[in-house]
């Protein structure tokens, strides 16, 4: 079959690599893709937000299945456009992708259906928000309601910081219309765990767990990023935690979406906080995590096409989802200065070291092909993943492999997976 993947990051490269392992896939396209993806798939120069053009491409090239990797097109309704044209597509429709597209929607859903999360209030005007903040305990979390490239969550240590956050989100419109509404949440403490789940509208199957490192600098310091590295599985996600989440969080979320007439078909990313009072939902996303996909998909034993088709056909309960009994660590190689200012166009050397290696992956995020050479083209450049018999071995191998490639201004965190030493 012919498959089209929509997106251009490390997550989409991980999806493409999984498709390459499938016995059912003959040809892979990726729109728009990136420099590294172009070695594994035919890249198509169509932007992920050009829904009509993408659907026309799928129609004209007899694409059997399109997989949407990114949040923006999903929240914007790309799946609805494909379905209206009778095209097979994997991802939630617009009315279900709202679970990521609106933080107030997801918080209200959790409240209505008793899904564990922290206390919160929703505000549509800065005056009301500022009034509410008077006398609140700090730290407190302020979130822009809509999509904000992963930057719309601000943790405020005191009233002054909170007032500044409301000003920049609601008045200065730092995140555009995404900040017309804000959610103010209680601050939760504990371990963060990401669990990506396959969903067919009625059934939900969680994948193996992962943990992201969102801050730019070692020791969880610096600005929030899209993610500087991941490891899988999380040793903190015990069988007891998993049972609790399956009973109180995953299935209730899918049931709640169905009850609201918003059947969720696709990947539900549940961001969990393992608090002293038990697991609670931090956030939902409507797609694979990035860089969570880069440690979860390499460990999946099933043919990804079988699982995706079961999601679309509503027969996910027939799937026995299996992961290898090992571990994976992904270290992101970024351009120094990310996530604020960074240079592009630097040649990347040493990529051939990953060829023919089974335990190592070099997922491309911000790269492009320039005169036959791969050069940097974004803040997050590469995701270096290694598999090992356990997390300690995977971590050592991943860090060893980060030395195989070089480019000017290469930057990485040095403590990805360090938390595993405390488990």
Binding site for ligand GLY (CB under 6 A): 150, 212, 227, 285, 289-290, 292
Task: Indicate the residue among 87 and 91 with the shorter CB distance to ligand GLY.
Answer: 91
Give 9-46 as a DSSP string: SHHHHHHHHHHHH-SS-SEEEEEE--TTGGGTSEE---
Nearer to ligand GLY, 32 or 289 (CB): 289
Residues 111 and 104: beta-carbon distance below 8 Å: no
Nearer to ligand GLY by Cβ, of 145 and 292: the residue is 292
What's the closest the beta carbon of residue 289 comes to ligand GLY, in angstroms? 4
Return the closest-CA partner of residue 91 out of 189, 186, 177, 12. 12
> What is the SS3 string spanning 191-244?
EEEEEEEEEECCCEEEEEEEEECCEEECCCEEEECCCCEEEECCCCCCHHHHHH
Least distance in angstroms from the C-beta of 269 to ligand GLY: 7
Cα separation, 293 vs 296, whole angstroms: 5
In the complex, the smallest distance separating the C-beta of residue 87 from ligand GLY, rounded to whole angstroms, is 26
Min separation Cβ 149 and ligand GLY, Å: 10
Q: Residue 420 corresponds to which tokens in the numbers above?
A: 């595993």
CB of 54 to ligand GLY, least distance (A): 22
For ligand GLY, which is the closer residue by CB, 283 or 309?
A: 283
SS3 190: coil
Handedness of CA 387, 389, 395, 400 (dihedral sign): negative
Return the DSSP state at 300. B
- Please identify, using beta-carbon distances, which residue of 147 and 170 lies nearer to ligand GLY: 147
Residue 266 C-beta: closest distance to ligand GLY, Å: 14
Q: Which two tokens stand for residue 44?
A: 């198509």
Q: E strands, 79-203, where?
A: 89-90, 120-123, 140-144, 153-156, 182-186, 191-200
Own/partner contacts of 168-173, CB < 8 Å, gap of 24 or more, are 169/142, 169/144, 170/125, 170/126, 170/129, 171/126
Residue 230 beta carbon to ligand GLY: minimum distance, rounded to whole angstroms: 7
Q: Identify which of residues 150 and 314 has a Cβ nearer to ligand GLY in the complex.
A: 150
219: left (phi over 0), alpha (psi -120 to 50) or beta: left
CB of 109 to ligand GLY, least distance (A): 18
Instruction: Count Cβ atoms below 10 Å from residue 349 Cβ, excluding itself.
Output: 13
Closest CB 212 distance from ligand GLY, rounded Å: 4
Strands 204-212, 42-43: pairing is: unpaired
Complex with ligand GLY: residue 77 or 150, whichever CB lies closer: 150
Q: Which is nearer to ligand GLY, 123 or 266 (CB)?
A: 266
Query: Toward ligand GLY, which CB reaches closer, 296 or 375?
Result: 296
């Amino acid at each position: 079959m012919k498959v089209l993947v929509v997106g251009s990051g490390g997550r989409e490269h991980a999806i493409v690599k999984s498709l390459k392992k499938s016995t059912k896939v003959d040809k892979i396209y990726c729109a728009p893709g990136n420099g590294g993806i172009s070695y594994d798939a035919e890249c198509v120069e169509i932007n992920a937000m050009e829904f009509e053009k993408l659907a026309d491409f799928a129609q004209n090239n007899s694409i059997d299945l399109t997989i949407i990797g990114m949040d923006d097109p999903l929240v914007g309704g790309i799946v609805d456009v494909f379905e209206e044209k009778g095209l097979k597509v994997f991802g939630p429709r617009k009315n279900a992708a709202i679970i990521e597209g609106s933080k107030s929607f997801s918080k209200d859903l959790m409240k209505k259906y008793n899904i564990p999360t922290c206390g919160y209030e929703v505000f549509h005007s800065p005056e009301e928000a500022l009034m509410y903040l008077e006398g609140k305990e700090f730290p407190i979390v302020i979130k822009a309601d809509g999509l904000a490239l992963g930057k719309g969550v601000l943790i405020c240590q005191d009233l002054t910081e909170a007032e500044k956050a409301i000003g920049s989100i609601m008045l200065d419109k730092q995140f555009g219309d995404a900040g017309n509404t804000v959610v103010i949440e209680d601050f939760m403490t504990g371990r963060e765990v990401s669990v990506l789940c396959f969903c067919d509208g009625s059934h939900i199957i969680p994948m193996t767990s992962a943990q992201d490192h969102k801050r730019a600098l070692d020791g969880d310091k610096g600005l929030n990023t899209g993610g500087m590295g991941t490891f899988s599985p999380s040793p903190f996600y015990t069988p007891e935690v998993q049972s609790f989440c399956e009973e109180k969080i995953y299935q209730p979320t899918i049931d709640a979406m169905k009850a609201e007439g918003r059947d969720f078909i696709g990947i539900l990313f549940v961001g969990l906080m393992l608090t002293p009072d038990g697991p609670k939902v931090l956030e939902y996303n409507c797609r694979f995590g990035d860089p969570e996909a880069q440690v979860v998909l390499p460990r999946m034993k099933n043919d990804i096409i079988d699982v995706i088709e079961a999601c679309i056909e509503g027969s996910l309960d027939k799937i026995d989802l299996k992961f290898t009994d090992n571990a994976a660590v992904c270290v992101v190689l970024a351009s120094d200065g990310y996530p604020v200012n960074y240079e592009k166009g630097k040649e990347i050397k040493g990529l051939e070291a990953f060829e023919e290696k089974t335990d190592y992956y070099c997922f491309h995020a911000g790269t492009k092909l320039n005169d036959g050479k791969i050069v940097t083209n974004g803040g997050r450049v590469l995701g270096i993943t290694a598999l090992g018999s356990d997390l300690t071995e995977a971590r050592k191998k991943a860090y060893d492999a980060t030395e195989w490639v070089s480019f000017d201004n290469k930057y990485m965190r040095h403590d990805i997976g360090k938390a595993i030493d405390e488990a």
